[in-house]
Structure 1
Amino acid sequence: MDTATHITMGVAIGGLATIDPAVEQNPELFHAVFIGAIIGSHAPDFDTFFKFKDNATYIRHHRGTSHSPLAVLLWSLIVTLPLFLIFQDASFSHLWGWILLSVILHVFVDIFNAYGTQALKPFVNKWIALGWISTFDPYIFGLFSAGAIAWLLGADPVVTYGTIFFVVFLYYIKRFLDKKEITDILQKHFPSATKIITQPTIRHNEWRVVIETPKFYFVADYDHGHIDIKDTFEKRDYPDSTEMNAAFQDENVKSFRNFSPVYRHEIERHDDYTEIRFIDLRYRRDGHYPFVAVVTLDKFYNILTSYTGWIYSEEKLQKKLESLT
């Protein structure tokens, strides 16, 4: 989920914590829990600091190890310990328990969008991206924001947020059924499909989908039962060549391939260099595919430049590659 929704969920955990008699009866513990739940609800995304190193490191680790079971435990303790030292009358077990819940909730809701997480790492390194919920879902954000306003106006936080969590639970079930309906329809239209990836948008009935078959990739929009094929790409095997093997060793390309479940490649040869481009097919926007990995090699297969990340125009991509020269 986006940062704003994570924070509103943290506020919700802080309000729901008043169901705990220890929190309700101890103002110091309540304040510690409230602050800790808000910080804990965002803590796993502190891995954004990897971006200061480079995009390859960020893509490799964002929502990766930082969202694993061990990291969840560590984040909860990292947030709890300073607050326990500041609010010395707070019960450590109650404080840690509610903060732990806020961190778990963060990781749990992240698995439902198209980006996903490695929430089971190191037991399972696969990215879990269910594709039911948009990264920013206005309905979920609106409900939790309304809950915060109602609490400020004097509503009982336990009743308010208990109701909201129940409604959101039902909403998740509905979105699961929406996705199932879409994938069933797509499977009928593409009976040879080996993979169907869904990406909900902020518009409730509009989805972006990628269908992989043994011979083709189909990129489409799905709207109220209507399938609009935007692009069709023939699948091509990766050549067993020195240049491709060299590209596969590049850190940017490694990070991209580790993260992306469906992508294609292009090879463009020039007099002095070869450019190999890997293109994620999930994020088509205005006819452009912004998430890429690009590597250029000289005639001896040495890497000249490489990049992975989000670029929203060909002109910006070329400028980025020139800046890396």
Structure 2
Amino acid sequence: MDTGTHVVMGIALGGLATLDPVVSSSSATATAVLAATVIGSQIPDIDTVLKLRNNAVYIRNHRGITHSIPAVLLWPLLVTAAVYFFQPEANLFHLWLWSFLAVILHVFVDIFNAYGTQALRPFSAKWLALGVINTFDPFIFAIHIGGLFFWIFGAHPGYTFLVIYGVLVIYYVHRFMYKRKLQKIVEEMIPEATDIIIAPTMKNSEWRVAVMNEHQFFVGRAHGLKVTILDHFNRVPVPETPVLEAAKKDVNLSAFLSFSPVYRWEMDEFEDHYEVRFIDLRYRSNGHYPFVAVVKLGLDLNILSSYTGWIYSEEKLQKKLEFLPG
């Protein structure tokens, strides 16, 4: 989920903690638990700082080790120690317990996004991505904000958020059922499909659709239960040419290929360089595919420049790829 949603979930969990008799009977413990649930709901995303290095490092590592089993066990200990240092009158066990629940909730809800997490590390490097909830879901965020307003105006936070999380369980089940119906519709439309990716958007009734069969890619959009195919491309295997093999050694393209399961590729030869471009087909927006990896190579196959990430205009992309031709 996005940072804002994780914040309100952390506050909500602190409110839910008031149903714990040990927490509700001690103001010191209640204050410490609220601080711990807010921090615990954020700390797995500490790897966001990797964006400061470059997109390749971020793509390869975000929601990886920081969301793994060892991290889920370590983060609550660190959060508990930090909060307890400033609030030593708090009940230590219940402070750890609610810190642990905050971290678990963070990792758990991230699994429902299309991006997913490597929550099973170190036992498996597989990405768990159920793809039923958008990274930012307006309904989830709004219902938490509503609960916070009820709390501010005097409602019991524990019972308020108990009801809200009951509603959210129903909402998640609804999203699973919705996606399953779309899956069946796509299977009927393209019976020879080998892979079907259905991903949510911020709009509850809109979903992105990307489909592969043995020979083609199909890109579409679902509105309600109506699926429309917007683009299709021939599926051309990436040949093992010297130019493409050299491009694959680039860190940006390597990171892109580790992340993207559905892409097409292009290669252009210019007077003084080659340009290799890989385009993720999952994120079509207004006829544009903004998530790309591009590598420019000299005629001697040395990498001149490269980029991976979100880009919405060719002009901006070329500025990021500026180099001095030799």
Q: What range is the shorter-chain TM-score in?
A: over 0.9
In structure 2, how many angstroms separate the alpha carbons of the residues matched to 1:276 and 1:95? 52
Report Cα offsets for 1:142-178 as digits up to 9, x if no partner: 1111111111111111211111111100100000000
5 Å-filtered alignment, 1:1-325, equals 1-322=1-322
Distance verdict in 2 for CA 1:316–1:192, change over 3 Å = same
Q: Following TM superposition, by how much is the alpha carbon of 1:248 offset from its aligned partner in structure 2, in angstroms?
A: 1.5
In structure 1, how many angstroms separate the alpha carbons of the residues matched to 2:207 and 2:63? 23
CA contact (8 A) 2:273 2:297 kept: yes
Counterpart of 1:29 in 2: which secondary structure? helix
Give the RMSD, CA atoms, in angstroms: 1.4
Q: Following TM superposition, by how much is the alpha carbon of 1:75 offset from its aligned partner in structure 2, in angstroms?
A: 2.1
In structure 2, how many angstroms separate the alpha carbons of the residues matched to 1:254 and 1:165? 40
In structure 2, how many angstroms separate the alpha carbons of the residues matched to 1:166 and 1:159? 11
Distance verdict in 2 for CA 1:318–1:187, change over 3 Å = same
Counterpart of 1:154 in 2: which secondary structure? coil
In structure 2, how many angstroms separate the alpha carbons of the residues matched to 1:324 and 1:159? 63
Alignment size in residue pairs: 325
CA contact (8 A) 2:278 2:292 kept: yes
In structure 2, how many angstroms separate the alpha carbons of the residues matched to 1:100 and 1:37? 8
Q: Following TM superposition, by how much is the alpha carbon of 1:73 offset from its aligned partner in structure 2, in angstroms?
A: 1.9
CA contact (8 A) 2:305 2:323 kept: no
Q: Which runs of 5+ in 1 are unaligned?
A: none
CA contact (8 A) 1:73 1:100 kept: yes
In structure 2, how many angstroms separate the alpha carbons of the residues matched to 1:192 and 1:115? 26
Report Cα offsets for 1:227-282 as digits up to 9, x if no partner: 22111111111111222111111111111111112111111111211111111111
Counterpart of 1:274 in 2: which secondary structure? strand
Please give the TM-score of this superposition, normalised by the length of structure 2: 0.96
Distance verdict in 2 for CA 1:59–1:165, change over 3 Å = same
In structure 2, how many angstroms separate the alpha carbons of the residues matched to 1:74 and 1:247? 38
Partner AA of 1:124 in structure 2: S
Please give the TM-score of this superposition, normalised by the length of structure 1: 0.97
CA contact (8 A) 1:218 1:233 kept: yes
Q: Following TM superposition, by how much is the alpha carbon of 1:225 offset from its aligned partner in structure 2, in angstroms?
A: 2.4
Partner AA of 1:194 in structure 2: T
Counterpart of 1:322 in 2: which secondary structure? coil
Q: Following TM superposition, by how much is the alpha carbon of 1:321 offset from its aligned partner in structure 2, in angstroms?
A: 0.5
In structure 2, how many angstroms separate the alpha carbons of the residues matched to 1:156 and 1:323? 61
- Runs (4+) of structure 1 exceeding 3 A deviation are none
